[in-house]
Amino acid sequence: MLGIIGGSGLYDLPGLSGVRREKVRTPFGDPSDAVVLGRLGDQEIAFIARHGA
């Protein structure tokens, strides 16, 4: 799995398939937004925006 932290423009990453969003909790508090999970080719991807939606 590859984790990406980036700008909100990556929500529409071309070629990303099987997209789903998961809300996660951490010991440090809630993250900026839900984690977007999907596949890019044969690579599993987890993306979270730096500043939320």
Q: What is the pLDDT along the chain (53 residues), one digit of tens a residue?
A: 999 998 877 767 888 899 999 999 999 998 888 999 999 999 999 999 887 65
Instruction: Report pLDDT for 14.
Output: 85
What pLDDT is stored for residue 32 in this prediction?
83
Residue type, 14: P
Count structural domains, the chain.
Answer: 1
Residue 47 CB neighbour total at 10 angstroms: 22
Give residue 38's pLDDT: 94
Q: What is the pTM of this model?
A: 0.78
pLDDT, position 18: 94
Residue 7 belongs to domain spanning: 2-49
Q: How many helical (H) and strand (E) elements, i.e. helices and strands, does the chain have?
A: 0, 4
- How far apart CA 5 and CA 53 sit, in angstroms, is 13
Would you give the distance in Å from CA 2 to the centre of its chain?
A: 10
